[in-house]
């Protein structure tokens, strides 16, 4: 297919069949060429155990096909129907407090439950057999947002408990080894039978994050539950592969969602897709009302990096969103801008959630392109224009980005911090976000990798708070630095081994020698309301190329002793005043920058500038605040996506003139991008 995939999520079962052709025609007129169907439609596809009804879906698909629209089918397993739960209440997940969910939401199932696997097999197999040769069906979405269960973050049911014990048995082989590796001698927790090992219920001190369980047990439980989702996805995958070998298979992920290792989940998928809601009713992506372009950009970059190639947006916010209450409506132009931002970061398919706003059920406030009454209005006109424009970009959309800089975001580290947040002011994703934003403000393309994905091809690797570290990764980092890599390390690195036990070394543990520093003391810095730390306001003096800058610091301070490194910054306030705070050591052809504290945006900008110039990274094109420029190369020609998130028009200066592809107009080197507008310029030096 040469057309860019431009679609909507549609639920024919929510509307009368008389409406379907009207919707299909409106979609066709808006350039929609793809719909995702059947996600959540289990009770209509299998109204009673083993009795299937595909007639209504066949009819809907016929109508779409007649309008030139192709189909992504969702397997409906995120919504186990009432008859199934009545027969098998053990399917319902159990939360951290030990309470089993009731029926009444969605995602109310445990991924390890054998009766649920049997039910999954029945419905997925029936669908796959029915649609494997259908000319309009070209792809599948497995389930919906795996890991996001109805009543908490992980299931704690007896089936999961037994599976967890077996998983531990496979991982450790013997109880002697497990007891040793976990340090269960602490508080007499030594196990003499596998069945004694608990699942981390909130049975102790519920105010302590991680329930104060042994952190080693907690990290393994997080790994185990993540793998349960992988295995459940695989279970569906093999059914679909067997029946529909010619179809693409994807799953809709959730960007920065922390509870499933998305690198592992993505491995088997043909393509990654994800659900992008910039304006959420609550603060999952942004504070109420606002949205953060850099945070959405970071999520796109993570999604692209999972497979190192273009991805799909399976649900792109299509209107104001909310369940009980609403987010503000997207401003005129924002649906288009969000779409072009996704494309700029490597999306090759855009599917809006949802076509028409539901009149019933939990998501009455989760608005689609059409309002409740089904009349095409502003949002419809906006996506129609956007669709036309995307088709003008053609195959540029399907080429990926290449990055010289990567940020390491580790699932082990996310989970270890979940067990022990370390400080109320420390958030791993906030630390990652600070580095990401500094790169984003410079319009430098960034990949997000884990320690388990190849990262050695980058010039720079920023690894904030590499809290859990294996000797193997430490050794890989060393050889990569020696060969010329520039590594940025921060406080809270090399603290734990893979069992989440503190290392028997000065910090940063296995990285001490590589960094040329070791930590002699440290302190948390609490929120400003708690007042300055003893020794005065936490600040440091950073000197770059002979110029000194006074920076404020927060969250954490390491006191460093330098064995072999250049001091770039020294504390000038706080308990460690006068001691080194930021250092750089040259190692072989590369270098290691160690940052013993946390910097604000101004500090990060200076530091990242230094890092990029040391590493010889190609600089991004400067842009005013609120304007992002994404560089792409296609047909060996430079292309620039210029995205203005602000409400003022802005000018940027490009290296060459070119052709603006959305309008076909010739541009000079200086281009004006209007408020909430985007340009895509193809370089043409003689233009």
Q: Do residues 414 and 468 lie in contact, with contact meaning Cβ atoms separated by under 8 Å?
A: no
User: Within positions 445 to 484, which residues make up the interface with ligand GLA, using CB under 6 A?
Assistant: none
CB of 77 to ligand GLA, least distance (A): 13
Q: Binding of ligand GLA at residue 315 (CB under 6 A)?
A: yes
Q: Binding of ligand GLA at residue 420 (CB under 6 A)?
A: no
Q: Binding of ligand GLA at residue 363 (CB under 6 A)?
A: yes
Give the burial string for 643-677 (b: 16+ CB within 10 Å, else e): bbbeeeebebebebbbbbbbeeeebeeebebeebb
CB of 550 to ligand GLA, least distance (A): 38
d(CA 553, CA 599): 5
Give the DSSP letter of residue 85. H
User: Within positions 337 to 356, which residues make up the interface with ligand GLA, using CB under 6 A?
Assistant: 353
User: Within positions 238 to 277, which residues make up the interface with ligand GLA, using CB under 6 A?
Assistant: 252, 275
- 501 vs 582, beta carbon nearer ligand GLA: 501
Residue 685 CA, distance from chain mean position: 37
CB of 103 to ligand GLA, least distance (A): 17
Q: What size, in residues, is the chain?
A: 687
Q: Spot the catalytic one: 39, 46, 96, 145.
A: 145
**Structure-block tokens of residue 150:** 């109805």
CB of 226 to ligand GLA, least distance (A): 19
- 103 vs 194, beta carbon nearer ligand GLA: 103
Q: Do residues 193 and 179 lie in contact, with contact meaning Cβ atoms separated by under 8 Å?
A: no
Q: Spot the catalytic one: 46, 315, 334, 348.
A: 315
Residue showing the smallest CB distance to ligand GLA in the complex: 275
CB of 281 to ligand GLA, least distance (A): 9
d(CA 137, CA 74): 11
Determine the size of the site formed for ligand GLA (CB under 6 A).
8
Pairing of strands 678-683, 637-644: antiparallel
Residue linked to tokens 């994404």: 630
- 47 vs 186, beta carbon nearer ligand GLA: 186
Q: Binding of ligand GLA at residue 144 (CB under 6 A)?
A: yes
Among 23, 145, 230, 261, binds ligand GLA (CB under 6 A): 145
- 276 vs 553, beta carbon nearer ligand GLA: 276
- 320 vs 532, beta carbon nearer ligand GLA: 320
Q: Binding of ligand GLA at residue 366 (CB under 6 A)?
A: yes
Closest CA to 34 of 58, 70, 4, 64: 70
CB of 279 to ligand GLA, least distance (A): 12
**Structure-block tokens of residue 7:** 């679609």
Instruction: Measure the CA dihedral 332/338/344/347, to 10°.
Output: -140
CB of 322 to ligand GLA, least distance (A): 8
* 145 belongs to the catalytic site: yes
Distance (Å) of CA 548 to CA 19, 153, 551, 569: 68, 46, 10, 9
Task: Compute φ and ψ for 152, nearest 5 degrees.
Answer: 135, -165
- 261 vs 275, beta carbon nearer ligand GLA: 275
- 105 vs 118, beta carbon nearer ligand GLA: 105
Pairing of strands 590-595, 486-490: parallel
d(CA 615, CA 405): 10
**Structure-block tokens of residue 430:** 């906030």
CB of 376 to ligand GLA, least distance (A): 21
Task: Compute φ and ψ for 157, nearest 5 degrees.
Answer: -80, 170
Q: Binding of ligand GLA at residue 143 (CB under 6 A)?
A: no
- 328 vs 646, beta carbon nearer ligand GLA: 328
Task: Compute φ and ψ for 193, nearest 5 degrees.
Answer: -150, 145
Q: Binding of ligand GLA at residue 334 (CB under 6 A)?
A: no
d(CA 115, CA 77): 13
> Which residues in 572-626 belong to E strands, given as ranges?
580-587, 590-595, 597-599
Point out the residues that are catalytic. Answer: 145, 315
Contact footprint for ligand GLA (CB under 6 A) = 144-145, 252, 275, 315, 353, 363, 366
């Amino acid at each position: 297919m040469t057309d860019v995939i431009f679609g909507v999520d549609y639920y024919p079962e929510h509307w009368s069949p008389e409406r379907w052709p009207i919707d299909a025609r409106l979609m066709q007129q808006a350039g929609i060429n793809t719909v995702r169907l059947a996600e959540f439609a289990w009770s209509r596809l299998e109204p009673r155990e083993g009795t299937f009804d595909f007639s209504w879906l066949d009819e809907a698909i016929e109508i779409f096909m007649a309008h030139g629209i192709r189909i992504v089918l969702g397997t409906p397993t995120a919504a186990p129907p009432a008859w199934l739960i009545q027969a098998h209440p053990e399917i319902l997940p159990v939360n951290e407090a030990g309470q089993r969910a009731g029926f009444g939401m969605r995602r109310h199932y445990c991924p390890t439950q054998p009766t649920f696997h049997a039910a999954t097999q029945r419905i997925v197999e029936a669908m796959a057999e029915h649609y494997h040769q259908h000319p309009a069906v070209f792809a599948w979405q497995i389930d919906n947002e795996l890991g996001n269960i109805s009543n908490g973050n992980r299931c704690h049911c007896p089936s999961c408990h037994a599976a967890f014990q077996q998983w531990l048995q496979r991982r450790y082989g013997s109880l002697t080894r497990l007891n040793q590796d976990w340090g269960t001698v602490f508080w007499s927790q030594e196990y003499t039978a596998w069945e004694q090992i608990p699942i981390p219920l909130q049975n102790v001190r519920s105010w302590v994050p991680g329930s104060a369980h042994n952190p080693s047990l907690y990290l393994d439980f997080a790994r185990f539950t993540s793998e349960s989702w992988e295995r459940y996805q695989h279970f569906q995958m093999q059914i679909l592969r067997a029946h529909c070998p010619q179809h693409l298979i994807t799953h809709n992920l959730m960007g920065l969602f922390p509870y499933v290792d998305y690198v592992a989940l993505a491995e088997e998928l043909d393509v990654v897709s994800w659900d992008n809601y910039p304006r959420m009713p609550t603060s999952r992506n942004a504070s109420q009302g606002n949205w953060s372009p850099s945070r959405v950009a970071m999520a796109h970059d993570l999604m692209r990096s999972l497979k190192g190639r273009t991805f799909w947006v399976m649900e792109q916010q299509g209107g104001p969103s909310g369940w009980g209450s609403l987010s503000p409506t997207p401003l005129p132009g924002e649906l288009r801008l969000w779409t072009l931002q996704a494309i700029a970061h490597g999306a090759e398919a855009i599917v809006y959630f949802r076509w028409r706003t539901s009149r019933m059920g939990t998501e009455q406030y989760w608005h689609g392109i059409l309002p409740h009454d089904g009349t095409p209005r502003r949002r419809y006109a906006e996506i129609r224009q956007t669709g036309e424009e995307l088709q003008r970009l053609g195959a540029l959309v399907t080429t990926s980005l290449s990055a010289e800089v990567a940020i390491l975001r580790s699932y082990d580290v996310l989970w270890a911090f979940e067990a022990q947040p370390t400080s109320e002011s420390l958030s791993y994703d906030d630390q990652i976000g600070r580095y990401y934003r500094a790169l984003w403000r410079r319009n430098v393309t960034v990949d997000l990798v884990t320690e388990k994905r190849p990262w050695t091809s980058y010039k720079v690797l920023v690894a904030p708070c590499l809290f859990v570290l294996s000797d193997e990764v430490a050794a890989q980092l060393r050889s990569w630095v020696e060969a010329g890599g520039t590594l940025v390390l921060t406080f809270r690195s090399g603290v734990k081994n893979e069992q989440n036990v503190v290392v028997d070394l000065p910090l940063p543990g296995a990285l001490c020698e590589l960094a040329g520093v070791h930590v002699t003391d440290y302190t948390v810095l609490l929120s400003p309301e708690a007042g300055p730390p003893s020794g005065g306001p936490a600040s440091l003096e950073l000197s770059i190329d002979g110029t000194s800058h006074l920076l404020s610091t927060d969250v954490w301070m390491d006191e460093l002793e330098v064995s072999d490194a250049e001091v770039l910054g020294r504390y000038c306030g706080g308990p460690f005043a006068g001691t080194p705070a930021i250092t750089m050591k040259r190692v072989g052809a590369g270098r290691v920058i160690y940052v013993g504290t946390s910097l604000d945006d101004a500090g990060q900008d200076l530091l990242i500038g230094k890092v990029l110039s040391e590493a010889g990274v190609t600089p991004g094109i400067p842009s005013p605040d609120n304007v992002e420029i994404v560089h792409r190369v296609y047909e060996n020609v430079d292309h620039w996506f210029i995205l203005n998130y602000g409400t003022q028009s802005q000018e940027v200066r490009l290296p060459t003139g070119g052709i603006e592809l959305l309008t076909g107009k010739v541009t000079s080197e200086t281009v004006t991008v209007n408020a909430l507008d985007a340009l895509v310029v193809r370089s043409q030096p003689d233009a």
